[in-house]
Structure 1
Amino acid sequence: MTKQDVEAEEFDLANFLPYLLNQAAEASSLEFQRVYKGRYGMLRTEWRLLFHLGMYGRQTATEIGTRARMHKTKISRAVQRLEERRFLTRTRDESDRRAEHLELTQAGMVAYRDLREVARAYDARLTRQFSAEQSELLRSMLRQLAGMA
């Protein structure tokens, strides 16, 4: 047995928590991705931005970035695409000309409400494979890992 074989045996990628989390995230998000991409042509950052505006109302890109933990360049691209599709408006802040307030348009609110209902139903389907206690424990542990606990 080579040294490389021994090292490979000492590390089990299939049980490496970041790897498992990534695999679970990819597997669990595919169906929802098909909906937001299929119905609205959105990318992941765009639906996340849409949801933050739908849930919390008018905000700046900086506020969304902090809350959603998204990089400002990704937010900037998402804002541009959502504005092009008339899902949001930008209003320059009068006291700080560098800041823009983002707000969903009527079309943006319709898309948000539609996707919110799909997300609720999808979340319920995903959690049916667990008991209520397991589901709450999983959510609690994930919030803790994400620093949201």
Structure 2
Amino acid sequence: MTLDEYTPYRLAVASSAVSTLISTAYDSLYGLKIPEWRLIMILREDGPSTQQALVKRGGMDKVTISRAAQALAKRRLITRAPHEHDGRSHHLILTAEGERLFADVAPAAAEYEKVMLADFTPDEVATFKKLLRRVEEAALKAQNNR
């Protein structure tokens, strides 16, 4: 086995390169860190969510979600509402200002994805995304079986 052929290493290096590219732009243009942008995207797509649901959906740990939520709440991009069935929990909700920021950032995010995948055919992109989902599912399954 060599490091350059070790799949977990390749995934980590690729993920780091993509995150660095995107985080530099998001931070300088919009003052957003990657977890904050991911949280905005999830809330935009899924609607109000608890932090526990965001941990599952976002692939981030509880501390990362909590810090991102605090930063977004401080900027009034999200708000917190009491959970109707669990007094210890609350829902995070994207505000109108958060919606406006999403509308500003989304085209840039789509453009970064387009640039990253420019050398791939549409079929290769579809296969790549399908394979990434399968790798994720396999890793989660192995993790749950431990």
Q: 1:21 — aligned with what? A: 11
Q: 1:48 — aligned with what? A: 38
The runs of 5 or more residues in structure 2 that have no matched partner are 139-146
Output the TM-score relative to the length of structure 2.
0.87
Q: Does 1:71 align with 2:61?
A: yes
Give the total of aligned pairs: 138
Give 1:1-149 correspondences, 5 Å limit.
11-147=1-137
Task: Name segments (4+ residues, structure 1) moved above 6 Å.
Answer: none
Distance 2:115 2:33 in 1: 22
Query: Rg bigger for which structure?
Result: 1
Distance 2:18 2:65 in 1: 23
User: Offset at 1:41?
Assistant: 2.1
Superimposed CA distance per residue, residues 57-81 of structure 1 (whole angstroms, 9 cap, x where no aligned partner)? 1111111111112211211111111
Superimposed CA distance per residue, residues 97-124 of structure 1 (whole angstroms, 9 cap, x where no aligned partner)? 1111111111111111222211111111
Distance 1:145 1:94 in 2: 36
Q: Secondary structure at the match of 2:133?
A: helix
User: Offset at 1:12?
Assistant: 0.8
User: What RMSD in Å do the two structures reach over aligned CA positions?
Assistant: 1.5
Report the identity percentage.
Answer: 32
Distance 1:133 1:93 in 2: 43
Q: Secondary structure at the match of 1:146?
A: helix
